[in-house]
Amino acid sequence: MSTDTQTLDIPKVSAYLEKHLDGFEGPLEVSKFQAGQSNPTFLLKTPSRNYVLRRKPPGVLLKSAHAVDREFRVQRALADTDVPVAKMHLLCEDDDVIGSAFYIMDHVNGRNFMDPRMPELDNAARGGVIDEMNRVLAALHDVDIDAVGLSDYGPPGNYYERQVARWTKQYRASETEVLPDMDRLIERLTQSIPADDGQRTLVHGDYRIDNMMFEKDGTKCLAILDWELSTIGHPYADLAAVIMQWQMPAGTEGRGFGGVDRKALGVPSDEEFIARYCERRGLKGIDNFGFYLAFCFFRMAGIIQGVLKRALDGNASNPERAMKVGAYVPVFAANGLKALERE
């Protein structure tokens, strides 16, 4: 079985789609998206329309990681809700086709912002995109999980207790060196998990602006991407993930607002973004936000540690970028400890 994450067996893919995807007609051209670090993703071009293929990486993987079947399920379930997603076409779990499971969805023809400063936009458009990001997040957390058939998409119980345990285990499984800040962060999070407040919603797990597609000439979100970490959990984890990303350095690597005058850009402060979210969801406010923010720094450190380990093992989707991303693990750990001091 091939362990190549950079290419696809085009004849095999084409033959499979001709048999299983209604309306598919070649010839087929394939190119790989370079942005993602987890599940290799490819653009499939045909004369009549374009698709996206997202596959599980080949090779030996951490248990529960890279579950493309879950990505497919959740996006298909959201098709008729206020949460924008790409149209799902088919899921193939037969490893004999290309070496690992994959699914096919529509290609969303929009624009993606890798830098939240969005230098190509004016203040009105920039503020509009951020507000749309806020609206979609509130809509995601208001989805009736019973009505869309996702009530069993995640286990019951305290979400943070479960997640801290899961990501501690994943981090230890991919640990490449001892990081004292990460060890301290794990210990402090474990000791300060909030009591369950009864909120049980769909969560994306990696909600940030570069995982969204917007209209090419407007501010409307066309689709949320990369649902690999989605589950049934607690909504503040997604909200804190946005705020976490914004604490990072500005630029294509950090993709944050660190050192940026947001008001001059027409972008809300952390507090304004949180307040607008609470208003949309009918919440009075959020206590102990520092815990949720620290949790997100911790989880991201665990994710990128896995990316680094796959790069060192030769299984990374984009090896060069994976090594760069992996260098941020100590930064996220340190920021997680700092976040715990926040109100």
Structural contact between residues 281 and 320, judged by C-beta atoms closer than 8 angstroms: no
- Full-model pTM: 0.89
Domain assignment present for residue 63? The answer is: yes
Task: Please check whether residues 139 and 215 belong to one and the same domain.
Answer: yes
226 with 321, same domain: the answer is yes
For residue 274, the surrounding DSSP H or E stretch is helix 270-281
CATH number, residue 30: 3.30.200.20
Residue 114, domain member (yes or no): no
The angle at the Cα of 81, spanning 76 to 83, to the nearest 5 degrees, equals 85
Asked whether residue 127 falls in the same domain as residue 99, the answer is no
Longest CA–CA span in the chain (Å) reads 57
Same domain, 259 and 320: yes
pLDDT in tens, 220-278: 999 999 999 899 999 999 999 999 999 988 987 788 999 999 999 999 999 999 999 99
**Is residue 264 domain-shared with residue 326, that is, in the same domain?**
yes
Report the amino acid identity of residue 330.
P
Residues 130 and 98 in one domain: no
CA dihedral 172, 173, 178, 182 (to 10 degrees): -40
Would you say residue 1 lies in a domain? no
Query: Which DSSP state fits 88?
Result: E
Angle of CA points 173, 55, 220, to nearest 5°: 105
pLDDT on residue 318: 79
For residues 94 and 136, state if they share a domain. no
β-strand partners of 42: 32, 53
- In the chain, the number of structural domains is 2
In the listed set 65, 81, 106, which residue is the last one of a domain according to the structure? 106
* One domain, residues 69 and 181: no
Same domain, 189 and 257: yes
pLDDT of 135: 98
Residue 255 in any domain: the answer is yes
Q: Which domain holds residue 195?
A: 123-339
Within a domain: residue 116? no
**What angle (nearest 5°) sits at the alpha carbon of residue 85, between those of residues 135 and 52?**
145
Tokens of 162: 């479960």
Residues in the chain with pLDDT values less than 50 = 1-3, 60-62
pLDDT digits (tens, 9 = 90+) for 58-82: 654 445 556 899 999 999 999 999 9
Is the Cβ–Cβ distance between 69 and 91 less than 8 Å?
yes
Judgement on whether residues 163 and 240 belong to the same structural domain of the protein: yes
In a domain, 291, yes or no: yes
Residues 6+ apart with CB under 8 A from 80: none
Distance, in Å, from the CA atom of 215 to the CA atom of 112, rounded to the nearest integer, reads 9
Confidence at residue 1, expressed as pLDDT on a 0 to 100 scale? 40
Q: Give the Å distances, CA to CA, from 10 to 7, 28, 30.
A: 9, 7, 7
Cα separation, 236 vs 217, whole angstroms: 31
245 and 270 Cβ atoms separated by less than 8 Å: no
CATH number at residue 231: 3.90.1200.10
User: Could you tell me if residue 113 is inside a domain?
Assistant: no
Domain endpoint, select from 106, 138, 160: 106
* Residue 8 and residue 93 in contact, taking contact as beta carbons nearer than 8 Å: no
Q: Taking a C-beta distance cutoff of 8 angstroms, is the pair 22, 4 a contact?
A: no
Residues 63, 159 share a domain: no
Are 33 and 146 in a shared domain?
Answer: no
Sign of CA dihedral 308, 310, 314, 319: negative
Residues 6+ apart with CB under 8 A from 7: 30, 32
Quick check: is 325 in a domain?
yes
State which amino acid sits at residue 105.
Answer: M
